[in-house]
Amino acid sequence: MADAAPITIVLVHGACHGGWCWYKVAARLRSSPAAAGFHVLTPDLAASGVDERRLREVPTFRDYTAPLLDLLRSLPDGEKAILVGHSLGGLSVALAAEEHPEKVAAAVFLCAFMPDCTSPPSHGLLKTIESNRDVPQLDNEIKPQDKDGKLPASFMFGPQTIEQNVYQLCSNEDKTLAKSLMRVGSLFLEDLNIQKPLSKDRYGSVRKVYIVAKQDRAISEGLQRWMVSNNPVEEVKEIETADHMAMISTPDDVAQYIVGITEKYN
């Protein structure tokens, strides 16, 4: 009797990060007896992590997400993956579900931007920016789009922001790691704002689970639940003690949820 095919889990990072930020969760998934048979992937999106491209070579959100789309296309016919997106990675997961719904067993949003099927994909991003207008922006570095509109506006988390609003519940070692590995990225607002809403019969047909990080200061709990109210999901789970980098501050909880979701929806 042939061995069962491995279950593919794809962990998708957010802006300025890379597959490296999933190192704790990936290690737990690969070593846990409960996760035996899981094939865990942590791809770097374009111009992120160790991907050799620079942001100027990635003008659109689709270009940025291309490594994930290519990965899904490479899966054998009939095989599906569990996609887990963090932060901006939620929009990458949503685009992947729109392009290849037949390849997605479930889409998991970990304190992530989750679009609905009635507004442009930028809607949650713009709502978050608006909600944070009164929050001190500290030392984030934002550069506008070039005058010809050919390059995306760039974004980089500043050290103070990392310490106080993104990694505030993480160890000093992980904060140091993040500061050394982060790269200049983009939120691709200009591009996402002109895209049509994702479709109900493709992205909308994929089963979804949202994991709320209750101590998140980058995308507040209220905004996370607002996205869920606009785009109902199969389940909402929560982590009481997680900051925005839940996969680093509470890796056991995140890994446990992913195992349970994979067993249920694969």
Q: List, by residue number, the catalytic residues.
A: 87, 216, 244
Q: How many CA atoms lie within 13 A of 227 on its CB side?
A: 30
- Four-residue CA torsion sign, 232, 235, 241, 245: negative
Residue 14 DSSP SS3: coil
Residue 159 near residue 167, CB atoms below 8 Å: no
Cβ neighbours around 211 below 10 Å, total: 25
250-251-255 Cα angle (round to 5): 125
23-31 helix and 251-265 helix, angle to the nearest 10 degrees: 50
Q: How many CA atoms lie within 13 A of 188 on its CB side?
A: 27
Which candidate, 207, 241, 24, 203, places its Cα nearest to that of 111? Answer: 241
Residue 67 DSSP SS3: helix
Which candidate, 86, 114, 83, places its Cα nearest to that of 101? Answer: 83
Residue 250 near residue 258, CB atoms below 8 Å: no
Spatial CB neighbours of 17, under 8 Å, sequence gap ≥ 6? 48, 49, 86, 87, 178, 181, 182, 185
